[in-house]
A and B are shown apart, each in its own frame.
Chain A
Amino acid sequence: MPDPHAGLKPQTALGHDVPVTITIGAVTITERFDVALASLAVRRGRDKDLAKAAKAADLPLPPAAMAQFAVPYSAFWMTPEMWMVEAPFASHEEITAGLKTALGDTASLTEQTDAWVRLDITADNPVPLFERLSNIDLATKPVGFAARTVIEHLGTYLIKRSPTDITLYGPRASAQSLLHALEVTAKSLL
């Protein structure tokens, strides 16, 4: 029987074969599709068991409104007792299976890969861009800050990886809208 998927090919969140990179003035926007995602929620009363299992698996569980970056697992805080875990797609395509093995029944996992569009924004000073886009006062936030906010009416996770590097996770189905908002705002800075 012929492979029914033979004629199909994967697309990035923005609908292309390869991820998009756009430079506007001092702002560079890069689409990322090489990251596997899983959300992780503590099961009731298992906080300590999870912390122990996560430590053994080198899985960071950062405090509120923060992210921690490591190899292979990075994570950012989403809400009390819940995190999003990131890992390289090439090595961790089956991220939930790996985490399930490590964490057992201490946490509930949901695969989130391909549910989001990830845009990495690089600028010498990203503050003027994001003070036009969201409520977050980026200038006062430390490196490692992570929060959900609203950009162009879209619930978006914002992570400050360094003073010049910001990651956004927005709803994949609205990838073009999020990119458009970033482009328009970046142009307004010129």
Chain B
Amino acid sequence: MIINHPILGPRDAQEFVYLGDASLINRPDGLTASPAEMHDYVYLRDNPAGLHRELWYHEQGDRSWLVVTRNTVTHEITKVEMARDVARSMGRSK
């Protein structure tokens, strides 16, 4: 599998580490979130057969975090974004 890194171009998937669902970016504020919200964040995941947004870490490259949109049925990758751009577009790190 090849991941088309937004900065470095196509790189082999063996250089990357998979972290999981990209919704992990949206961590609730631990001081104000209810136990139920925290439980859902930590334990509950969707498991779609189809497009899935997930976090990949370019460990053996430039060590950037990516949000990869991958079809879990075909492994086709339709979109690769820098995770920090995704987070900032949602209002983080401002």
Contacts and interface: CB of A to CB of B under 8 A. Distances in A.
Interface of A: 64-65, 78-80, 135, 147-150, 155
Contacts of A149: 15, 60-61
Contacts of A78: 62
A150 B8 contact: no
Contacts of A150: 15, 60
B11 A135 contact: yes
Contacts of B12: 135
A64 B8 contact: yes
A79 B11 CA distance: 15
B64 interface: yes
Contacts of A64: 7-8
B7 A65 contact: yes
Nearest to A64: B7
| Secondary structure type dominating chain A contacts | strand
- Residue of B11, B14, B61, B84 with highest tally of chain A CB at under 10 A: B61
Interface residues of B, number: 13
B24 to A, nearest CB: 20
B92 interface: no
B11 A148 contact: no
B75 interface: no
B27 interface: no
Nearest to A77: B62
A187 B52 CA distance: 45
A95 B84 CA distance: 31
Contact of A148 (B7, B61, B84): B61
B63 interface: yes
A79 B5 CA distance: 12
Interface string B56-94: 000011111000000000000000001010000000000
A155 B16 CA distance: 12
Interface in B1-25: 7-8, 11-12, 14-15
Nearest to A135: B12
Contacts of A80: 7, 62, 64, 82, 84
A79 B63 contact: yes
A187 B59 CA distance: 30
Contacts of A155: 60
A78 B50 CA distance: 34
Nearest to B10: A137
Contacts of B11: 135
Nearest to B82: A80
A180 B91 CA distance: 48
Interface string B35-71: 0000000000000000000000000111110000000
